[in-house]
Amino acid sequence: FGLHHPRFEAGFSAMVWLAEHGYINFQETIRQEALDQAVLSQKAFLLLSSRSQLAAAEPADPGELPPSVLEHSMTNISQLRAARADGSSITLRRCVSYLLSHPPIGAS
């Protein structure tokens, strides 16, 4: 198959790192090409679905949004998606640093 592109290697290494730190679970690696049966762990799900204090991306007019939509827009996953859509590596780095600097929910 030859050598993988550095971007692929970085993505694969990131997935392995996430597994080593308890953010995802997977059944096995397929050579050094893929992870089989990869799923979010409870730790990652709780982190991503919890409310963010970062406010990297706030709604344009929060007064016009229903409370449920406004609440969803303030979750960590919504903030991360907005940072990715923004295309700013600085905003994305800030969101990821924020997420990784917080202890897992329920941890002492």
Q: Tell me how far apart the alpha carbons of residues 84 and 95 are, in angstroms, rounded to a whole number.
A: 9
**What is the chain's Cα-based Rg?**
16
Calculate mean pLDDT across residues 57-66. Answer: 68
- pLDDT confidence tier of residue 108, bands split at 50, 70 and 90: very low
Span 73-105, pLDDT tens digits? 889 999 999 999 989 899 999 999 999 898 777
Position 2 scores a pLDDT of: 66
Q: What is the pTM of this model?
A: 0.76
Position 43 scores a pLDDT of: 92
Strand positions, DSSP E, 1-102: 24-25, 28-30, 34-36, 39-40
| Spatial contact of 83 and 54, defined as CB atoms under 8 Å apart | no
Neighbours of 52 (CB within 10 A): 21
∠ Cα 81 85 90 (to 5°): 90
Position 59 scores a pLDDT of: 59
In the predicted structure, residue 60 carries a pLDDT above the cut 80: no
List the one residue out of 41, 16, 42, 40 whose CA is nearest residue 29. Answer: 16
